[in-house]
Structure 1
Amino acid sequence: MTTSNERPPIAAILALGLTQIIGYGTLYYSFSILAPDMARDLNWSSEWIFGALSAALLIGGLAAPTMGKWIDRFGAGRIMTAGSAIAAAALTACAFAPGKVAFVAALIAIETASNLVQYGAAFALLVQIRPKVAQRSITYLTLIAGFASTIFWPITTALHTHLSWQNVYLIFAAINLLVCLPIHAWLSHSVSEIRKREKNEAPRHVEPSLPPSIRTPAFILMVMGFALESFVNAALLVHMVPVLSGLGLGAMAVMVGMLFGPSQVLSRFTNMVFGGGLSQLTLALISAVLLPAALVVLIVTAPSVLGALAFAVVFGLGSGLNSIVQGTLPLALFGSEGYGKRQGQVLAIRLMISSTAPFILAFMMENIGVSWSLSVAAVLGTVAVAAFFGIMRLMRPLTRPQPLLNGR
């Protein structure tokens, strides 16, 4: 008989899926569409506007470890509820910012609030609701949230056709306040109710799969792998169209780039259906291999349109799978106790690395050309593969058959 502990909390996943779409759509994906008008109103260049975003991401990353501790201490539901209120206030402050300093301060508040309501906190909430099935729950959630850009790019564009960027941000603030905050408050209450209802069932926590002696080196390798993948992802996502154009694809660059989002969703769906028999470390390794492999395909085949299409699909598959294992691998290796704190530590390093990626790739493309820049990114992606292989090597003595004593 299947107990409630063995079933993913579907209502919570669907509710979180909606708030993740809104969270990523309003706090992240909308920025690139509104940025040109922001730059014009503030009398800044586009480079300075995106530089301000990078600085905000970096500062938000520095706050992530503290937020992770809060998630463990107070519960992810309460933190996400507060995060929705902060996000609404930050968007409002950005809309009414009288000058550059106030705008940057509000942007920092937006990116700090993002850490309280996006994947890191949402994954922790699913772990706290039902740890035993959290890996499946995270997969389902990322499948839903993968449509955030597909939904919010056209919504933002349509709103901005008729409204100023300030008014668009005010609408987004209202959505965070009136939709996301009540959902997060309900989920916070649900965690308490589930714990009361299931207190007589089997233990709720997930045990670590690693012995204490190798947890520290394994954690360092995992963070290194995730950070390098985030660097490659962030660099290519911001510059995908310029990169493809620089390789001679011209007008086809936009069409090729459009394949990336659907490929992300496809990888999550494929993992949901067929990935149940694979360990999370194996999935992390597959994800890490796909990113540099996609770059090699692009470098070798450029300016072939078919090669560029293959790149977009393979890169999207790797990126989509990566967003899952960033939540499930720490749970599988280190268990559910202290999950929020560990996620905060990982998120901080990832954001600090990825926030510099667009600038570094732009600098390299200007000085050494597109092909050599992609080659450097492919090498960094290969180092990420080596990091996950390193974790496998650490675990090998744990799975190696032990010799029988006295020949028995």
Structure 2
Amino acid sequence: MEEIRLRRALIGMCGTQVVSWGALYYALPVATAQIAGTTGWTPGTITLACSAGLLVAAVAGIPVGRLLDRYGPRPVMTAGSALAAELYPPVFAAITCWYGERRARPLTVVTLVGGLASTVFAPLTALLVDHVGRRASYLVYAAVFLLVNLPVHWLLLTPAWPDHRT
């Protein structure tokens, strides 16, 4: 039974990583021209803001890692989906803990599947930006986080999590 729960969790994390990387990272280069045109920001400023966001994520990684140790990936990654802020680090931590010595294959699988994000989201973002604009495109992505990623994390990240508080 636990092996089935691990497999479901891995499949779920693969799918949510495609959405997360696609919406949070790969959509920006496609939407940059429209963002610059409507805000007056330069593409360099937009890229700098994205880089600053990645630095904030790196700093937040320390307390998020503590939350993962204490509560496990299910509540932490569900909350990350609600905030539209979840990339590889908590996934890698969950896989490493759940699979232990067998972690190489699932880490490879989630990384390879996550690599499809640009293939899916670059053209999807271009289509959305052209038809509904950049703001509405990001609202669509926010809805996908709430309607897809959040329930997937809550429903599928159920394998047992060891108590790391000791």
Q: Normalising by the residue count of structure 2, what TM-score does the alignment of the two structures yield?
A: 0.88
Q: Report the AA paired with residue 66 of structure 2.
A: K
Larger Rg, first or second structure (1 or 2): 1
Give the match for residue 166 of structure 1.
135
Equivalence map 1:209-248=2 (5 Å): none
**C-alpha separation between the residues in 2 aligned to 1:139 and 1:8?**
19
Q: Could you report, residue by residue, the CA deviation over 1:37-94 in whole angstroms, capped at 9, with x for unpaired residues?
A: 112211111111112222222222222111111111111121100000011xxxxxxx
Give the match for residue 218 of structure 1.
none
Q: Report the identity percentage.
A: 34
**C-alpha separation between the residues in 2 aligned to 1:118 and 1:54?**
14
Aligned equivalent of 1:130, options 73, 91, 99? 99
Q: Which one scores higher on RCO, CA 8 angstroms, separation ≥ 6?
A: 2
Q: Report the AA paired with residue 148 of structure 1.
A: A
1:81 maps onto 2:49 in alignment: no
**C-alpha separation between the residues in 2 aligned to 1:46 and 1:175?**
26
Aligned equivalent of 1:191, options 149, 152, 159? 159
**C-alpha separation between the residues in 2 aligned to 1:43 and 1:143?**
36
Q: Could you report, residue by residue, the CA deviation over 1:338-375 in whole angstroms, capped at 9, with x for unpaired residues?
A: 9xxxxxxxxxxxxxxxxxxxxxxxxxxxxxxxxxxxxx
Q: 1:46 to 1:4 in 2, by over 3 A?
A: closer
Q: Report the AA paired with residue 91 of structure 2.
A: A
CA shift for structure 1 position 8: 9.4
Q: Normalising by the residue count of structure 1, what TM-score does the alignment of the two structures yield?
A: 0.38
Give the match for residue 30 of structure 2.
33
SS of residue matched to 2:41: coil
**C-alpha separation between the residues in 2 aligned to 1:187 and 1:11?**
6
Give the match for residue 47 of structure 1.
44
CA shift for structure 1 position 187: 2.6
Q: 1:139 to 1:17 in 2, by over 3 A?
A: same
1:151 maps onto 2:148 in alignment: no
Give the match for residue 254 of structure 1.
none
SS of residue matched to 1:44: coil
Q: Could you report, residue by residue, the CA deviation over 1:317-344 in whole angstroms, capped at 9, with x for unpaired residues?
A: xxxxxxxxxxxxxxxxxxxx79xxxxxx
Q: Report the AA paired with residue 155 of structure 1.
A: L
CA shift for structure 1 position 27: 0.7
Q: Report the AA paired with residue 170 of structure 1.
A: L
Q: Are the counterparts in 2 of residues 8 and 136 from structure 1 also a CA contact under 8 Å? A: no
Q: Are the counterparts in 2 of residues 20 and 145 from structure 1 also a CA contact under 8 Å? A: yes
Structure 2: state its 5+ residue gaps. none
1:118 maps onto 2:87 in alignment: yes
Structure 1: state its 5+ residue gaps. 88-112, 196-203, 205-336, 339-408
**C-alpha separation between the residues in 1 aligned to 2:68 and 2:7?**
22
User: Root-mean-square deviation (CA), in Å?
Assistant: 2.3
Equivalence map 1:4-403=2 (5 Å): 9-87=6-84, 113=85, 117-188=86-157, 190-192=158-160
The aligned length equals 164
**C-alpha separation between the residues in 1 aligned to 2:148 and 2:23?**
12
**C-alpha separation between the residues in 1 aligned to 2:128 and 2:99?**
38
Q: Report the AA paired with residue 79 of structure 2.
A: A
**C-alpha separation between the residues in 2 aligned to 1:141 and 1:55?**
25
Q: Report the AA paired with residue 64 of structure 1.
A: G
Q: 1:164 to 1:18 in 2, by over 3 A?
A: same
